[in-house]
Amino acid sequence: MRVSRRTVLATAAGAAALCASPAPAAAADPTAGRTPAPTLRKLRAAADYAVEKVAAVAPTVTAFPVGTKFEKWVYSQNGGWVGGFWPGTLWMAWLYSEDEAFRTEALASARKLAPRQYDTGTHDLGFLFYPSWVTAWRLTGDEAWRTGALRAADSLIQRYNPRGRFIRAWGALNDPKNAGRVIIDTMMNLDLLAFASRQTGDDTYLDIAVEHAKTTRRVFLRPDGSTPHVYDFDPDSGAPVGPDTVQGYSPTSCWSRGQAWGLYGFTTMYRRTGNRDFLTTARALADYAIGALTPDHVPVWDYRAPQQPHDIKDASAGAITACGLLDLSAATGRHAYREVALRLLTALSETCLTKNSARAEAVVARCTRNRPAEDGIEISLPYADYYLLEGILRVLRPQDVDRAIDLSTV
């Protein structure tokens, strides 16, 4: 679907009507009808399993799942950086099943994030508020969710450094530590700013998102399409310092989940702006990730770690990559990206679900949170569950995903 920039930036009206009527078919990948029947059966079975698991576990969830220990969820009371994924998973389960219990639980969980609207100490407000509050507004029409998401966008733009043209990743605004640190993950937080510009008509939010994306493109993208996890700047002058890493193997390696964040984030920024440089960047990241995949189509935790391709896996990187590739296929019309996404989703459905464990509370296993810190190796992670369901629904019910997160292109 192509609309003018004026239309995109205008304040949306009739959110309730959006909830009641189906999304335009143009938002879906035009190649969607080509999905092989055996693949559809496998993805439906995986979605059925995921929704059944979430339904069984949801009544016992007391806060925000951040990862598993001995296959049971460990919780954060304020959500950490992952708090949006549990309500987001509940929304995906509701879209698939139409079970009103999921809707009720999604709203109750999202409400617990309310204090974080004013949190200026993190760049992760997009992760926190897009799959929870923005989706809640899009699916219910209740203006309170929209207002809260806009407040979160106001908090996020305070982290923008105009000298270096980047959004600071970590640390309080008055803390000099990490003041010049940028990470690839932030690309996924920019859509909250694009949302804010569309809703308010104020270009400031989107302008900051665009400048951050341009900076990320300039300093993160290597000639072969790979990326580091971190890039440091002098926060006072804005001058670039150089690449680094926290969750990757080294500053010259390619952390697979970071590559997935970049692929998905740049594709989204292309859809929100029409800037073809962002689309070119997304394709470069996608092509590198595809070339680095092992035959089993479950990414290793770092594409350039010395033990790859025989290394620890990260199924969450696979789920995020699949969503990004489906988005990229729709944006470019290239069916090859969709085919790889389907192989990723099929591999996760066949080899990474928790079906063999009666005690498991998550849907997806074989995830790695932070390999260098030996933190969360071969566990389950809430964003793996969320993006697996999002990816499967992008195939089975793209119009419903559009209703939830907006797949339109300017």
> Which residues participate in catalysis according to the annotation?
124, 185
- DSSP code string of 196-213: HHHHH--HHHHHHHHHHH
Distance of CA 306 to the CA centre of its chain: 27
Percentage helix, strand, coil for the chain under 3-state DSSP, each rounded to 5: 55, 10, 35
Give CA–CA dist 364/370, Å, rounded.
17
Give CA–CA dist 93/389, Å, rounded.
8
Angle among Cα 345, 347, 353 to the nearest 5 degrees reads 90
Residues 6+ apart with CB under 8 A from 310: none
Give CA–CA dist 319/344, Å, rounded.
7
Q: What is the 3-state secondary structure (H, E, C) of 269-313?
A: HHHHHCCHHHHHHHHHHHHHHHHHCCCCCCCECECCCCCCCCCCE
Give CA–CA dist 80/123, Å, rounded.
11
For residues 57 and 73, the answer to whether their CB atoms sit within 8 Å is yes
Residues 6+ apart with CB under 8 A from 37: none
